[in-house]
Amino acid sequence: MKKGDIIELNIPMQPRIITADQQVNELKGKAAIGLGPVIYCLEEVDNADIENLKLNTNQQFSSSYDKNLLNGVNIISGKGLNNNGSPISIKAVPYYAAGNRTKGAYKVWIPIAK
C-alpha cells in the first residue's frame, strides 16, 4: 500500500423481511423491511393510501442508490397490495430519513397481505 491508494469493500446485501416475536400482540401479522443493519419505512409521500397498504412478502424486493433523494440514500422497491388487493409499487426509505421531505404519515411495521 502506498499513499493515495483506495480500498473499496463491496458486501452484497439483499433486502429482507423482519417479523416480530409472536408474543408481541401489537405486531402480529405485520412485518418491517431491512437492508443490512438499517431498518426502512414507507412514507406517505412515496406510497399512496399508506393506511390501507399491505406488504406482499412472497415477492423479491430490490435495493438501489438514489443520489437525488436526501443527498443520497439506498431505497428499497417492491410490490404491495392496495385496499382492493391489487398490486401496487412501494418505495421504502431508511427509517432514519423519515419525515425529512414532508410531515405525512410513515410506517415501519406494515400489515402482511394474506
Beta-strand pair 87-94/73-81:
antiparallel
**Stretch 44-72: mean pLDDT:** 92
Please determine, for residue 85, whether its predicted confidence score (pLDDT) is greater than 90.
no
**Stretch 60-76: mean pLDDT:** 93
pTM: 0.86
**95: phi then psi, degrees, rounded to nearest 5:** -60, -35
For the chain, the first-to-last Cα distance in angstroms comes to 54
Coil, strand or helix: which one is 56? coil
Instruction: Report the candidate in 79, 63, 73, 58 with the shortest Cα–Cα distance to residue 11.
Output: 63
pLDDT band at 72 (very low <50, low <70, confident <90, very high): very high
What would the grid cell of residue 74 be? 439506498
For cell 404491495, name the residue: 80
Q: Give the model's pLDDT for residue 48.
A: 85
Q: How would you label 22-41 residue by residue, b for 16+ Cβ within 10 Å and e otherwise?
A: eeeeeeeebbbbbbeebbbb
**Stretch 36-65: mean pLDDT:** 93
Please determine, for residue 38, whether its predicted confidence score (pLDDT) is greater than 90.
yes
